[in-house]
Chain A
């Protein structure tokens, strides 16, 4: 065993160290998990390296999974390269890595096919024989050769894509070389002949890598201390702190930079944001959610640059869709989002595709990372979040309704049961074991209270009429109140007053009924009549 195995992967800083570590790791199988920490873009070993060096490093790590075994946790990284990279070295490495997986999956073939289309015009001769190969090479491989080899390995799992592969071969004359076409033909034949019966159940067809990961939820105080005061400048040159930019509504935040040369990453992300903007409008979400794009490259991406970049990709920039650069506190912001980016000096040398959903307090409530943005998927997640939020609102409004119901019952009941005449007083007081007709002289003070309570009840039923069960309950209560007033104070007729009390009670009960129950009752009543 060489010196590499003794190295702690977290402490690796230079390329030679990395190569030595990987060379040692791949001597034994089942050690792939040791390579996992090296795949995070934030690893210090990528700091200060050129983009080509980062590609070399990641590719060398990734191809080692073929020998060490590919842990499930590494699949997302492999899929990411296949789906959105155009560096032949990395794509080839990802294709090789896939062949180290314990189980084959249908989804793998889909990623491989996407990678073939991504790389067919950008393929290059590649060698993994040593970390820094020297030309001329005795023999080389290419990304396309490796992708086709992986299709072969997938066998029956690539069967659903046979028609796509056949079409690719048919039109490959101008894009693939002779050898690639011949290998593709053999792969198609081999896949077609593989009659292994495989389980097509949920576990195989499901995407093993969820685009949605519940984000780190930080409480308001952490936010306040960490990012609230990070200074941003928008595309119009308006400066504002993070807390003002992201604490009014839900905001979908994407990261990008204008000097990104991978059209499948930043450029596509901003184009997708523009599409999302249209979809939000169509789905009626525009009022509930803002869009924001923050550059990784704040020193270069001045307001006029980000404005042109956004508008050129169809983004309609306004108060609810803004592009930002960070004028101070970028380190804090990077830490807050745990951004998947690294730098060589001031220039980005590697980054992932990443979007975050911030709530109205600026907390991260969701993250979409590493895989191509799927607008429909994002919209459905956002709808879920907003409906959950609405659900909480509904819970609150249920309490309010319950209180309204309670009060609409309580007030008339109070009216019903309050002593409204000397007899009632006598009855109540006798009920309580107190006799005392001497209270009668105070009846004139009780009546205004009753009137007030009836008034409050009527007002609350009137206010709720439109939201609840219409004006019928209000009319009943109003008529009932009139009768109580008339027969309880002026004409003094107990039957008239009881009728009034009955109407008051009925109106209040009808008002408090759930709308559907009220409708049912109403329709039954009218059908009977």
Chain B
């Protein structure tokens, strides 16, 4: 039986020497990464060959990641592939993935950063939805002002939206300085899109003034589970005292949704605050209802709370 290094070397040799498309494809599929001069040269040739099979070009692109990361000219070539709207979507998507994957490993990426940003910005309205989403996500993480402008425009005028509203909210949430809190409040209060509301609530957790709104949403038992869950989690992250109060009352509320109760009990059990993980009222109540609990999730949370309590005290 061959070890993996030997097998890899064999595939590399086949790739370099063979002229048969199927053999090349198989070798490329199985080789780990191309680093030696000969195979890099051959793979680059395939990548740059407009007439080559798109699938093979995509394979070559993936296997060349290491070589591309250290070569400015190759990075610029991959960017041109991404920019070329006439190429098959798979090649362009692979080009984007390649750029993204070498982002942290390439020692020369900084020298082409402006070109990358320029091309990505130019693709914000690309017709290929996957590419559009990918470049917008990338730029949103960079807190890019143009993308923020476009996302906000889409929220205000849905006809111009480049992405679904909930996705846009999620991406705007990467930047706490984006000034979106008033818009998010409006969405939570008025929107009928619960996915958008869930995202908005999640981000509003970092807005100290949103505490009352979060409590209002959480206390409304008619709200969807996801919406209430996010409200509770937002409170936990940024208003821990308020969360303790709310979670404690939820833990002993037998009329409450079992999943919400389970979340509250788990969060209290994991708290570092002794009044949370060792609350006699909760303990007594949970012991009392222990056998009657129908929900498996709630039962598990309850057991965890009671067991963990003893461990923490020790």
Contact with B along A343-386 (1 / 0, CB 8 A): 01111110000000000000000000000000000000000000
Interface residues of A in 96-126 (CB under 8 A from B): 120-125
Of residues 158 through 187 on chain B, the ones whose CB sits less than 8 Å from some CB of chain A are 175-182
Q: Is the CB of B118 within 8 A of A137?
A: yes
A56 proximal to B (CB < 8 A): yes
In the complex, the chain B residue whose C-beta lies closest to that of A51 is B177
Give B125's nearest chain A residue, CB to CB: A135
A140 within 8 A of B: yes
* A residues in contact with B178, CB < 8 Å: 50-52
- Residues of B close to A177: CB separation below 8 A: 111-112, 114-115
Complex contact B121–A135 (CB within 8 A): yes
Question: Can you list 25 pairs linking A and B with CB atoms under 8 Å apart?
Answer: A49-B179, A50-B179, A50-B180, A51-B175, A51-B178, A52-B178, A123-B114, A125-B114, A125-B115, A125-B117, A132-B149, A137-B118, A140-B118, A142-B114, A174-B111, A177-B114, A261-B177, A299-B208, A300-B208, A344-B181, A345-B179, A345-B181, A346-B207, A348-B177, A349-B177
Binds A, one of B11-19, B52-60, B87-95, B140-148: B140-148
Residue of B72, B122, B145 most packed against chain A (CB within 10 A)? B145
Docked-complex contact B145 and A89, CB < 8 angstroms = yes
Q: Are B110 and A121 in contact (CB under 8 A)?
A: yes
B213 sits at the interface (CB 8 A): no
Chain B residues within 8 Å of chain A by Cβ, number:
32
Are the CB atoms of A299 and B121 closer together than 8 Å?
no
Q: Is A271 an interface residue (CB 8 A)?
A: no
Binary contact track A164-195/B, C-beta < 8 Å → 1, others 0: 00000000111111100000000000000000
Question: B145 is contacted by which of A48, A56, A122 (Cβ under 8 Å)?
Answer: A56
Residues of B within 8 A of A344 (CB): 177, 179, 181
The proximity string for B residues 106-132 relative to A, scoring 1 for CB distances below 8 Å and 0 otherwise, is 011011111101100110100000000
Closest to B177 in A: A51
The contact of B207 among A120, A136, A261, A345, by CB within 8 Å, is: A345
Cβ A51 vs Cβ B179 within 8 A? yes
B206 beta carbon closer than 8 Å to chain A: yes
With A132-B149, A345-B207, A345-B209 as known contacts, state yes or no: A48 contacts B110, CB within 8 Å: no
Cβ–Cβ contact B179 & A53, under 8 A: yes
Number of A interface residues, CB 8 Å? 40
- CB neighbours (8 Å) of B181 from chain A are 344-347
Point out which of A89, A125, A348 has the most chain B C-beta atoms below 10 A from its C-beta.
A125
Q: Residues 50-61 of chain A: 1 if any B CB is under 8 Å from the residue's CB, otherwise 0?
A: 111101100000
Chain A residue numbers with a CB within 8 Å of B107 are 174
Interface residue A259 (Cβ < 8 Å from any Cβ of B): yes
**Residue numbers in A under 8 Å from B182 (CB-CB):** 345
Across the interface, do A173 and B108 meet the contact criterion of CB distance under 8 Å?
yes
Using A50-B179, A125-B118, A137-B118 as known contacts, say yes or no to A173 and B111 having CB atoms under 8 A apart.
yes
Do B176 and A136 touch across chains, with their CB atoms under 8 A apart? Answer: no
Instruction: Please determine whether A174 and B148 come into contact, CB atoms closer than 8 angstroms.
Output: no
- B residues 51-72 near A (Cβ < 8 Å) are 72
Grouping DSSP codes into helix (H, G, I), strand (E, B) and loop, the B interface class, with mixed when no group exceeds half, is: helix
CA distance A52 to B182 in the complex (A): 16
Query: Given the complex, which residues of A lie within 8 Å of B209, measured CB to CB?
Result: 299, 345-346
- Distance in angstroms between the alpha carbons of A53 and B179 in the assembled complex: 9
Bound-complex Cα distance A300 to B179 (A): 16
Is there an interface contact between B111 and A300, defined as CB atoms closer than 8 Å? Answer: no
A115 to chain B, nearest CB (A): 16
Interfacial chain A residues near B207, Cβ < 8 Å: 345-347
Could you say which residues of chain B place their CB within 8 Å of the CB of A53? 145, 179
Interface string of A120-152 (1 = CB under 8 A from B): 111111000000110111001010100000000
> How many angstroms from the CA of A299 to the CA of B208 in the assembled complex?
6
Q: Which residues of B contact A133 (CB under 8 A)?
A: 146
Tell me the complex Cα distance, A299–B153, Å.
29
Give every chain A residue within 8 A of B122 (Cβ-Cβ).
Answer: 135-137
| A175 touching B121, Cβ below 8 Å | no
Which residues of A does B touch, CB under 8 Å? 48-53, 55-56, 89, 120-125, 132-133, 135-137, 140, 142, 144, 172-178, 259, 261, 299-300, 344-349
Give the shortest distance, in Å, between B42 (CB) and chain A (any CB): 27
Contact between A347 and B176 (Cβ–Cβ < 8 Å)? yes
Shortest Cβ distance from residue A138 to the other chain B in the assembled complex, whole angstroms: 11
Is B146 in contact with A135, judged by CB distance below 8 angstroms?
yes
State whether B113 touches A123 (Cβ < 8 A): yes
Chain A hits for B114, CB < 8 A? 123-125, 140, 142, 144, 177
State A123–B180 Cα separation when bound (angstroms): 25
Chain B residues contacting A175 (CB-CB under 8 Å) are 110-111
Chain A residues, Cβ within 8 Å of B118: 125, 135-137, 140
Interface residues of B in 166-220 (CB under 8 A from A): 175-182, 206-209
**What's the nearest-Cβ distance from chain A to residue B142, in Å?**
9
**In this complex, what residue of B is CB-closest to A126?**
B114
CB-CB under 8 A from A173, the residues of chain B are 108, 111
**Known A56-B145, A125-B114, A300-B238; 4 more pairs at CB < 8 Å:** A50-B175, A51-B175, A125-B118, A140-B118
Query: In whole angstroms, how far apart are the Cα atoms of A124 and B179 in the complex?
Result: 22
Find the residue from A48, A259, A346 having the highest chain B CB count within 10 A.
A346
Complex Cα distance A413/B114, Å? 89
Partner pick for A50 among B111, B112, B117, B148, CB 8 A cutoff: B148
Are A125 and B121 interface neighbours, CB within 8 A? yes
Kindly report which residue of chain A lies nearest to residue B149, judged by CB atoms.
A132
A123–B110 Cα gap in the complex (Å)? Answer: 8
| Closest-CB distance, A149 to chain B (whole angstroms) | 15
Does the CB pair B145–A176 fall under 8 Å?
Answer: no
Taking CB atoms, residues of chain A closer than 8 Å to B124 are 135
CA of A347 to CA of B238, assembled, Å: 14
> Which A-chain residue is minimally distant from B146 (CB atoms)?
A135
Bound complex: CA A27 to CA B145 (Å)? 27
Kindly state the separation between the CA atoms of A140 and B208 in the bound complex, as whole angstroms.
Answer: 40
Min C-beta distance of B153 to chain A, whole Å: 10
Residues of B within 8 A of A135 (CB): 118, 121-122, 124, 146
Point out which of A48, A172, A300 has the most chain B C-beta atoms below 10 A from its C-beta. Answer: A300
Report the separation of the CA atoms of residues A144 and B118 in the bound assembly, to the nearest whole angstrom: 15
User: Do B177 and A120 have beta carbons less than 8 Å apart?
Assistant: no
CB distance from A302 to the nearest CB of B (A): 9
**In the assembled complex, how far is the CB of residue B206 from the closest CB belonging to chain A, in whole angstroms?**
7
In the complex, the answer to whether B115 meets A52 with C-beta atoms within 8 Å is no
Assuming the contacts A123-B113, A174-B108, asked whether A136 and B177 have C-beta atoms less than 8 A apart, the reply is no
Residues in B whose Cβ lies below 8 Å from that of A48 = 179
Q: How far is the CA of A299 from the CA of B175 in the complex (A)?
A: 18
In the complex, what's the smallest C-beta–C-beta distance from B209 to chain A, in angstroms?
A: 6
Q: Measured between C-beta atoms, what is the minimum distance from A47 to chain B in Å?
A: 10
Q: How far is the CA of A183 from the CA of B182 in the complex (A)?
A: 45
* Contact, CB under 8 Å: A52 / B208: no
Which single member of A50, A122, A176 contacts B177 (CB below 8 Å)? A50
Q: How far is the CB of B263 from chain A (nearest CB, A)?
A: 23
Contacts of B121 in A (CB 8 A): 125, 135-136
A140 to B119, CA, bound (A): 12
Taking CB atoms, residues of chain B closer than 8 Å to A176 are 111
Contacts of A55 in B (CB 8 A): 145
- Is A52 touching B145 in the complex (CB atoms < 8 A)? yes
- On chain B, the residues within 8 Å of A89 by CB distance are 145
